[in-house]
Chains A and B, each alone.
Chain A
Amino acid sequence: MSVELPGKTIYVSFGRFQPPTKGHLDNFNGLSRAAGNNDYRIYLSQTQDSKGDNPLAPESKKGYIKKMMSTHADKIYSGSQWNVIAKCLQHCMVDGYNHLVFMVGSDRVNDMQWVKRSNGKTAKDGTRYYFTTVEVKSTGERDADGDDKKDKKATGGFAISGTKLRVYASLGDEKSFKKGMPSGMNAKLATELYDEIRKNLPVGYAGK
C-alpha cells in the first residue's frame, strides 16, 4: 500500500506472568522499542489455579509487575473484563485504535496468527474486534511465558522461564529464583514474591 492509512496504532502484548521475570522485562522493553512513538499496552491474564501453573492472584501479580517494571507501570492493564485476548483487543478498538500490532515472544508468532484471522469475526464467547490492519510480530525475545520443555529445542534451553522459577520456589531454592528477577529489583520485594509463590504452590510442584 502506498497511501498512509489514517488512525492510531496500538502495540499489544498479553501474558500470564506467573511469576513476572527478567525475561518478561526484556519482552516489555522489546514491545516498547517496537512501538516507538505509538502507544502500547500489556494485558495480564486473569487465571489463577491451585495446580501450581498460575499461583499468583491477578491483583497481586499486577502489583508486583508495576513495582518490578516501573517504566511500564502505566501500560499494565488487568481486570476481569479483559480475561481473554479478544476482549483486550476489543478494549483497544473501543479506545479508538485502528491498527493493531500484537507482539509475542519470537517462539509464539506462528501460534498467535489466529489474532489476525479472527479480525472482524465473532469469537466463541461472542466478542468481536476489528482493526484496519493487524500484524503479529516478535518482540525479538523468546516468550518468557513459554513452556521450557516444549521450547527447549527451539531455544536451546533458555535459562529464564516462569515454569523454572515456580519449580525453584517449590524446591525452596530462593537464590536461583532470585536470579530470574530483573537486575536491581528490591531484595525485599523479591523475597515477598518468592514467599507468595511458595505459599500458593501445591506441595511437590515440579512444573509437569
Chain B
Amino acid sequence: MANAASDIARVLDRARRRQAGVVLATAAALGLAGALLALLGGTALLGAGWVSPAAARQVALALGSIAVVAALAWAAVALVRSAGTPLAVARRVGAAAPELRGDLVSSVELEEEREELRRSGSASVALLDEHLQRTALRASGLDLRRVVSTAPARRAGVALGGVAALHLAALGLAPLMMRAGWSGLLSRGAEPAVRRADPITGDIELTYLYPAYLRRETRTVSGTGGEISAPKGTEVRLRARADRDVERAELIVESARPSTPGPQGGPRARGERKAEAGQGEGKGKGPQGAAPGAGTLALEVKGARELSGRLLVEETGTYRFRFLKGRKAIAEGPATALTAEPDAFPEVRITAPAQEVEVDARARVHVEWTASDDVGLAELTLVLKPPAGEERRTKLKALAPARRASGAHDLELAPLRLAEGERLLYWLEVTDEDAVSGPKRAASATHTVKIFSEAEHHRAAYARARELWEGMVRLLGDRIELLSPGGDEGPAPRWTAELLTQAGALDQRTRALHVGLRDAAQLLRADKSSPRALPDALANVAASIKPLEANLTSLRVSMARFAQLPSTGRSSLVDRVAELDARLDRELEKDVLYLEELFDKGSADDLVRVAKDLAARRRELAGLLEEYRKAPSEAKKKELLAEVARLRARMDEMIRGMAELAKGIGDEHMNREALAEVAKANDAKGGLDEVEKLLAKGDVDGAMKALDAMGDAMQGMLAGLERTAGTPSAKNAALMKEMLAFKRRLEDVRGEQEAVARETEAVKGEYQKAVAERMAGLDEAAKKLEALAAEARKRLARSEKGVGIRSEDDFAQSRDRLADLEKALGAKDLDAALESVKRAIPFMQRLASGLDDEARLAERYPGLTGGGPRELREAQKHASSALGPARQVREELEKLFPDPKSVLGGREQEKMGELAKRQGELEKKAGELQGALGELAEKAPVFPPQASELLGNSQSHMQRAQGELQGKDPQRGLGEQRQALDELGRFQRGLDQMAKNARGGGKSGGFPFPFGEEGGGRQGEGLEASREKVEVPGADQYKPPEEFRRDLLEAMKQGAPEPYQGEVKRYYQELVQ
C-alpha cells in the first residue's frame, strides 16, 4: 500500500507546488502593485512640487518598500499555512474539494501513524491500506487547477496591470511632471555638502591674479580657511602647510576644470540676454549651475610640509587637499568652497524720449541713454530698423574702461527718408569687456519713432466728427418721422401725452448732441494736428442748436403742464413750439449739409497730401537711381530695389486710402473727380512695375525714363486733385462770394468808423487843450490836494495794526492807490490823480466796513478773531477817518474838469453835430451788416453766435457814441467809438482768417470755412481759447497805449453814463462781496 500513499503524496506535492506558485505570484503582483502605487503617488507629488522633495521621496520609497515587505510576509505566512506540511496541503486541498476533505486528511494522518498502528495493532492496517487506496484513487482524479485556484494571482495581476496603466496614463498626460517626479525619486538626493573630514592643512595663503580686462591688482589673502571666490578666469595661487610630513600632495577640484581659459561662445544674439539671465538666476542652470567636473592638480611639496600650487577659477565648486604616499592617498582634507564670481551682463537703457514718439520726417530725435556693467563697458551701438530693409548698426561710442556711462545721441531722421505714418524701430546695444568668456552684449528696450502723418490725424479727427454727424442725421430723421412725417404739406402734430414724451426724448438727444459736439470741438482743439476748421464748425453747430433745444425743452415742459388743464394760452404755445421745431429742423438740415461738405473738403485736401507724399517719394527714388547710374554697385542696386518695394507698398497703401477717401466724398463734383484721380494713381503704380522690371534687367536708362513718365502721371494726378480740392460746389462758391462781399462791407464800415473817430479825436484835442489851459496855475490847489492825500494815507497807515487776513488785501490796495494819488498829484497829473482816488475809495470803504465787522465780532466773542476788540476798533476808526480827505480830494478834482459844452467853441460844436450824424449813419450800416450776417448764418454754420454779438456790441457802441457826440462830449464819444472799432476789429480778424483758410480761391473764393473768432472767447460757445503759443507777459510788461489810457481816464472823470450807473454800482457791490 505504499503505492497508494505515495500516490497521495504526489498529488499533495503537486498541489503544494501549485499553491506555492499561486501564493508567490499573488504576493509578487500585489507587492509590486503596492510599491508602484506608492511610487506613483510620490512621483506625482515630486513632479508637481507640492511637497518637500526629500519628504516625498522618503515617504514614497518607504511606502513602496512596505508594500513589498508586506507582500513577502504575507507570502511567507500563506506558504507556511497552506503548503508548509503535507497535512496543511491536505487540509488546503480538502477545503477546496470537500468530498475528499476527511479522507485526504485522515489518509495523511494515518499514513504518518501507520507504523504506530501496525505496532500497536489498534487499527487494521489492511483497512488503512484500503482507505489509502480508495483515497489515492479519488485523489488522483482531482483537478488541481480547480482545487488550487490561480484566481488570487490573477486578481493580483489585474491590480498590478491597473497600477501600471495608471502610471502610463499619468506619463501620457503629464510627461514632464512625471519625468521630473521620477527623476527626483530616483536621484540619490543631494550629495553631502561636504565630505566631513578633518583639516590636514593650515596657513592657507591665496594669491589672486585677475584677468587683465578686469584691471584689478593682484591680491594675496592669508590666514583664511582656504575659501576661494574670484571672477572667472582668475588664477589662484595657493600656499599651505601640511599637518604632517608628506611625500606628495594634490588638490582635488570638484568644479573648476584645470584647463586653459579662453573665449567660450561668440557674442550673444540680441534678446537672448534676458532669457539666459532669467534661467541662471532662477533655476541655477547654465554654466554656473552645471555639475562640476572633477580634476586633480599636483601640488609642489617643499620641505615635506610646504605645499604650493595654482588653479584657474572657471566654475563654482569645491576643492580639497589630498596627501599621497606613492599612489596611495593617505589623507584627505575637507571640501573647501570655490566660487567663480559671475561676470554680469551689461545693461543699457534709453531714458529719453518715451517708448514711442511721433515726430516730423526731418526731425532730430534726441536719444538719451545710460549704460553700466559690473566690470567694464566696451562699445555702444545704435541699431535702426526702418520699415523696409535690414537693420542698420552704427557704432556710437567706445566706452571702455568705464563701468557706468551715459550720454545722448541725436538721431537724424532726414537721411532715412521716412514717409508719413511710417515707423522706425531703434534700440541701443552695449557690449562689455569680458575677455574670458567673450564680450557679452545687451540691448535696450526697443523704441519707436512714428513719422507724423497729418492725413492720419485728420482722418481720425474727421472720423470722430463723422460719428457725431451720423448722430445728427439720425436725430433729424427721427424728428421728421415723429413731428412732421407728412412733410411741409402734412398736418401739424397732435400733441398727446405720449407724443410729448417722445418729443422730450428727442430733446434729450438734441441736448446730448450739442454737448457732444461741444466736447468734441474742445478735444479737437486740444489736438494741434486736427484740422482747425473742424472744431470751429462743430462748436458753431453746437452753439446754434443749444438755444433752440433749451427753448424747446422748456416749452414742452409747459405744454405737458397745460395738457392737464384747459388753457387759453395753449394755442400760442403750440404755435411757438411748432415754430421752434421747424427752426431746429432747419438748423439741423443746414448743419448736416455743411458738415458733410466740410468733411468732403477735408477728404479732398487729404487726398492732395497723400498724393504729394507719393510724389516726394518718387523724387527720392529718382535721386537714388541717379546715384546708382553714376556709381553702380550691388549694394546700391539692392538699396534701390528695396526702395522700389517700399514705394510700391506705400503706393498700395495710399491707393487704398485714396479710394476710401474718394468713396467717402459725398459731393457730386468732387466725387467723380476724385475717383478719376485715383484711377490715375493706379496707372502710376503700373509705371513703378515697369521701373522695377527694367531695373532688374539692368536697364537703368529705361528705368529712369519710366520713372520720369510716372512722375508726369503723378504730377497730373496731383494737379487734378489740387484742382478738385480747390473747387467748391456751386452753393459753396456762392456762399463764399457772399461772405467775401460781407467782409468788404464790414471793412468799409470799419474804415468809416475810423475816419469818424479820427475827426472826433481832433475835436477832443481842442477840448483837452482848453482843459490844460484851465489847469495852468492850479499849483496852490494841487498842494492842498497833496496835503489831503497825505493825510488820508497817514490815517490809513494807522489802521494797519488791526488789519488781519480778511482785510489785508483791501488795506494794501487802499495804501497803494493812495500812494498812486500822491505820486500823480506830485507830477501834476490830475487825470491820473482822479483815477487813483476813485479806485482807492471803494477799497477804503471796504476796509473800514471789514474792520468794523471784525471789531464787532471781537467785542461779542473775545479771542475769536486775531486781534483784540480795542485794537480793531481803533483801526476801524482810522480807516474810516481816512475816507474823509480822500473823498474831498475826489470832489475837488472833479470840480476842476469843465463841462465840454462850456469849453468847446461854436465851430467845434457844429463839427460835433456833423460827426453825430455820420455816427448815426454808421450805426445804421452796422445794423444792416447784422442783418446780412443773420442771412449768411442761415445758410451755413460758419459763424459762431458770438459773431452776431460782436456786431451787436459794435452797433450799441456806435449808438452810444452818437448820443455822446450829440451831447457834445468828444471824450466819451471817442471812447465809445474806439470800443465799437475794437469789436469790429475782432470780428474782422475772424473774417480775415476765414478768407485765408479759403485759400483765396480764385474766382469762386474757395471753401467757406467756419470762423471761430480769435482767442479769448467763451468755452464751448464757439469762441474758444486760441491754440497759438502765448507768451505770458510779466507783471510790468503790459502798458496800454498812453493815448488809450488817457482817453479812459478822461472818460472815467465824467462818471458812468446815467443808464449804466446802476450796473457799475452792482459791479462794485459784487466785487466787495
**A and B: interacting chains:** no
